[in-house]
C-alpha cells in the first residue's frame, strides 16, 4: 500500500517532502537545527522518485544537484556557528553557483554550438549568482526565506516540468513543499524558527542551478531566467519587525507566491503543456 502511494506524483512532489520537512523541523527545533527540514524534504522526494526513475524523463545533473544540496547543508551547519561570516558566505556561494553552471554547461559546448550556447550560458551564470547570493542573505529572515522557497521552488519546478525535466522538477516542488511546512509551523505558532544557512544554502542550490541547466539541456526559454530572478527579488522586500511572525509570514507568502505563480502561468502560456 505504501509502495503504491510512493508512486503517485503528487505524493512524491508534495506530500512526502511536506511531511518530512514538518517532522524534522519540529524534532530539531529545540536544537536550533530546524533548517534541516529542507534537505529532509529533498531526501524524501529523491527516495520516492528514484523508485520510479525509469518512467521519468532523464535529467542531466539531477543526482549532482542533490549531492550539491547535501554538501550545502553541511556547509550551512558550519556557517551557522559563525553568523558574522554570512555576508562573505553569500558572496562565496554566489560565485560557486556560477562556477557550477559553467561546469554543467561545458560538456554541451562544441566549436559548432559555442556561439548559440554562449548567451544563455552567460545569463544562466548571472541568474545562479543572483539567486544563490540572495537566498543566502535571507538566512536571517526565516519567514521570508521559507516564503521564497515556496514561490521560487514552485516556479522552478513548474518551468522544469513544462520543459520535460520531471526529475529536476521534483526537486523544485520538494523545496517548495518543505518550505511550506516550515512556514506553516511559524504561522501557526506565531514564533520564528532559526532556519539559518542550513536551510538557505540547499534551497539556493536547488533554485539557482535547476533553471540554467534546464535552459541549456532541455531547451527551456532563456527569458524565463530573468522572470525567476524577480521572485527572489520579491523576497527581498523588507517587512516591519513590529509585525507579528504570523503576519510577516503571510505577507511574505502572498508576495512570493504571487510572483512565482505569475512566472509559472507565463511559462505555461509560452511553452505549453508539459513535454512527455
Which residues are within 8 A (CB) of 33 and not within 5 positions of it... i.e. 6 or more apart? Answer: 77, 198
Which residues are within 8 A (CB) of 275 and not within 5 positions of it... i.e. 6 or more apart? Answer: 57, 162, 163, 164
pLDDT at 273: 66
pLDDT at 15: 87
DSSP for 154-204, written as a single string: HHHHHHHHHTT-HHHHHHHHHHHHHHHHHHHHHHHHT-----HHHHHHHHH
DSSP for 128-161, written as a single string: HHHHHHHHHHGGG-HHHHHHHHHHHHHHHHHHHH
pLDDT above 90 covers a percentage of the chain that reads: 36
Q: Any idea of the CA torsion for 66, 69, 75, 80, to the nearest 10 degrees?
A: -140
Helix (H, G, I), strand (E, B) or coil at 104: helix
Q: How far apart are CA 188 and CA 197, in angstroms?
A: 23
Label residue 107 by pLDDT band (50, 70, 90).
low
Summarize pLDDT for 12-52 with one digit per residue, the tens: 778 889 999 999 999 998 888 899 999 999 998 888 776 55
Length, in residues, of the chain: 276
Evaluate if residue 102 carries a pLDDT over 50: yes
> Which has the closest alpha carbon to 216: 149, 147, 142, 119?
119
Residues 37, 40, 42, CA angle at the centre, nearest 5°? 115
Evaluate if residue 108 carries a pLDDT over 60: no
DSSP for 32-68, written as a single string: T-GGGHHHHHHHHHHHHHHTTGGGSPP-TTHHHHHHH
| Phi-psi label, residue 190: left if phi above 0, alpha if psi -120 to 50, beta otherwise | left
Q: Indicate whether this model's pTM tops 0.75.
A: yes
CB atoms within 10 A of CB 238: 7
The C-alpha cell at 239 is 517587512
pLDDT above 70 covers a percentage of the chain that reads: 76
Higher-scoring residue by pLDDT: 255, 112: 255
Least confident of 10-14, 63-67, 74-78, 122-126: 10-14
CB atoms within 10 A of CB 39: 29
Least confident of 54-63, 88-97, 119-128: 54-63
> Which has the closest alpha carbon to 269: 210, 223, 207, 230?
223
Evaluate if residue 56 carries a pLDDT over 50: no
Domain ranges of the chain: 2-271
Evaluate if residue 155 carries a pLDDT over 80: yes
Evaluate if residue 122 carries a pLDDT over 80: no
Amino acid at each position: 500500500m505504501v509502495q503504491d502511494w510512493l508512486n503517485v506524483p503528487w505524493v512524491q512532489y508534495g506530500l512526502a517532502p511536506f511531511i518530512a520537512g514538518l517532522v524534522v523541523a519540529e524534532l530539531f527545533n529545540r536544537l536550533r537545527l530546524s533548517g534541516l527540514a529542507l534537505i529532509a524534504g529533498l531526501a524524501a522526494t529523491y527516495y520516492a522518485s528514484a523508485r520510479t526513475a525509469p518512467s521519468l524523463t532523464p535529467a542531466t545533473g539531477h543526482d549532482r544537484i542533490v549531492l550539491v544540496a547535501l554538501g550545502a547543508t553541511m556547509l550551512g551547519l558550519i556557517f551557522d556557528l559563525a553568523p558574522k561570516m554570512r555576508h562573505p558566505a553569500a558572496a562565496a556561494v554566489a560565485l560557486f553557483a556560477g562556477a557550477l553552471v559553467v561546469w554543467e554547461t561545458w560538456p554541451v559546448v562544441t566549436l559548432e554550438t559555442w556561439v548559440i550556447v554562449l548567451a544563455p550560458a552567460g545569463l544562466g551564470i548571472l541568474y545562479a549568482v543572483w539567486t544563490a547570493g540572495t537566498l543566502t542573505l535571507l538566512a536571517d529572515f526565516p519567514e521570508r526565506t521559507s516564503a521564497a522557497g515556496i514561490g521560487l521552488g514552485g516556479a522552478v519546478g513548474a518551468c522544469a516540468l513544462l520543459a520535460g525535466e520531471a526529475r529536476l522538477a521534483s526537486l523544485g516542488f520538494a523545496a517548495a513543499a518543505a518550505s511550506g511546512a516550515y512556514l506553516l509551523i511559524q504561522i501557526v505558532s506565531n514564533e520564528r524558527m532559526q532556519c539559518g544557512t542550513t536551510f538557505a544554502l540547499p534551497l539556493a542550490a536547488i533554485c539557482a542551478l535547476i533553471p540554467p541547466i534546464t535552459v541549456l539541456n532541455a531547451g527551456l526559454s532563456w527569458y524565463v531566467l530573468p522572470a525567476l530572478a524577480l521572485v527572489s527579488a520579491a523576497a527581498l522586500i523588507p517587512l516591519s519587525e513590529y509585525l507579528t511572525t504570523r503576519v510577516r509570514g503571510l505577507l511574505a507568502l502572498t508576495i512570493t507566491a504571487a510572483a512565482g505563480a505569475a512566472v509559472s502561468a507565463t511559462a505555461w502560456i509560452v511553452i505549453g503543456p508539459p513535454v512527455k
